[in-house]
């Protein structure tokens, strides 16, 4: 039985990855920061199936201890300060976790000394002010946020350790992906939660920032499969994971409101400059041809189905809460 260690296991991707690895017969461990009240909402259905170990990407020795306890065959580093807007408010903390945290993990693996495959969660936000469209593994990076800059450090230090120390270390440059487990502070979940509340009469209006930004949106359960496939290859490499389609926030709103029978959503949506980024990323569109060819991976869930799943999930959740 293979052992996997997932950092960020209580997040959206981490919990979906745990589901996948358990289905494949793995023994799954989650690295979790010490907290008086752990937030395990996304993993509550897995409490008796996974094991938690204490560790923190800002503390080198805690990572070393995790590796000694778990003795993992595979490590998936998904932990991060993952909210782009917040990275402008906490740039130093974001850089410490998203950048130096990757270095600490790689150093811990190197010192651990046993064969361990490593996956690093990179991001399309590294492309930022895009230099070409669509973006692939060879597109120059131009990050537009402290989040993107920190992730770029994590991306390059992973590549550096792979080439310097012959480590099996991969990065997945994942474009935007969502699910019913996405945090409500993210714009996609803010939309679906707001639409569900409007549908149930709990809210009158939804306040957002930039409605014109365009993203390449996929479904998280599809994307975690790509992470797993990367670590099953004979040779480590880096891969763009995307749908190859781009949609605007307005199109996301179209789909979400249509799910509750509303086609004209203008009167339900307002804008507030407080939700605008200091430096915006206007459009992201990924070319995942390499993943299609080498990993045999393709997305399974359409944009419309993704939005529908999220709206339906929020309606069901809220109905249960108000019973």
Rg of the chain taking only CA atoms, in angstroms: 19
Annotated catalytic residue 223: no
Rounded-to-integer distance, Cα 113 and Cα 136, Å = 33
Cβ contact 55:46 at 8 Å: no
* Catalytic choice (147, 153, 161, 223): 147
* Catalytic choice (32, 74, 125, 225): 125
Pairing assessment for the beta strands 3-7 and 27-32 based on DSSP bridges = parallel
Q: CA triplet 279, 282, 286: central angle to 5 degrees?
A: 125
Within 10 angstroms of residue 273's Cβ, the number of other Cβ atoms is 7
* Catalytic choice (7, 10, 94, 123): 123
Cβ contact 116:73 at 8 Å: yes
Contacts by 314-317, CB closer than 8 A, 24 or more apart = 314/180, 314/189, 314/192, 314/193, 314/195, 314/196, 314/197, 315/196, 315/199, 315/200, 315/260, 317/196
Annotated catalytic residue 147: yes
Rounded-to-integer distance, Cα 224 and Cα 235, Å = 19
Helices (H), the chain: 12-23, 60-70, 84-89, 91-95, 101-112, 146-165, 187-199, 220-230, 249-258, 289-294, 303-322
Rounded-to-integer distance, Cα 33 and Cα 58, Å = 10
Among all residues, which ones are annotated catalytic? 123, 125, 147
């Amino acid at each position: 039985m293979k052992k996997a260690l997932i950092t960020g296991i209580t997040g959206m991707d981490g919990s979906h990855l745990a589901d996948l690895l358990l289905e494949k017969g793995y023994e799954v461990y989650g690295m979790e920061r010490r907290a008086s009240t752990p937030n395990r909402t996304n993993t509550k259905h897995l409490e008796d199936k996974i094991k938690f170990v204490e560790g923190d990407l800002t503390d080198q020795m805690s990572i070393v201890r995790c590796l000694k306890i778990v003795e993992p065959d595979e490590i998936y580093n998904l932990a991060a300060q993952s909210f782009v807007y917040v990275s402008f408010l906490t740039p130093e903390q974001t850089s410490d976790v998203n950048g130096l945290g990757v270095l600490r993990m790689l150093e811990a693996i190197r010192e651990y000394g046993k064969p361990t495959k490593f996956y690093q969660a990179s991001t399309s936000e590294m492309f930022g002010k895009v230099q070409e469209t669509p973006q692939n593994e060879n597109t120059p990076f131009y990050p537009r946020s402290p989040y993107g800059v920190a992730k770029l450090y994590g991306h390059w230090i992973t590549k550096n350790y792979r080439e310097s120390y012959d480590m099996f270390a991969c990065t997945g440059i994942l474009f935007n992906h969502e699910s019913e487990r996405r945090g409500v502070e993210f714009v996609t979940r803010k939309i679906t939660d707001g639409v569900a509340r409007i549908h149930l009469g709990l809210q009158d209006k939804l306040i957002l920032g930039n409605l014109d930004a365009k993203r390449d949106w996929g479904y998280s359960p599809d994307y975690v499969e790509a992470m797993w496939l990367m670590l099953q290859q004979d040779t480590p490499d880096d891969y763009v994971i995307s749908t190859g389609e781009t949609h605007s926030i307005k199109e996301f709103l179209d789909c979400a409101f249509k799910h509750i029978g509303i086609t004209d959503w203008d009167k339900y949506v307002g804008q507030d400059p407080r939700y605008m980024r200091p430096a915006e990323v206007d459009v992201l569109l990924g070319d995942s041809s390499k993943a299609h060819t080498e990993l045999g991976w393709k997305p399974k869930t359409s944009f419309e189905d993704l939005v529908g799943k999220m709206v339906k999930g929020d309606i069901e959740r809220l109905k249960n809460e108000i019973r």
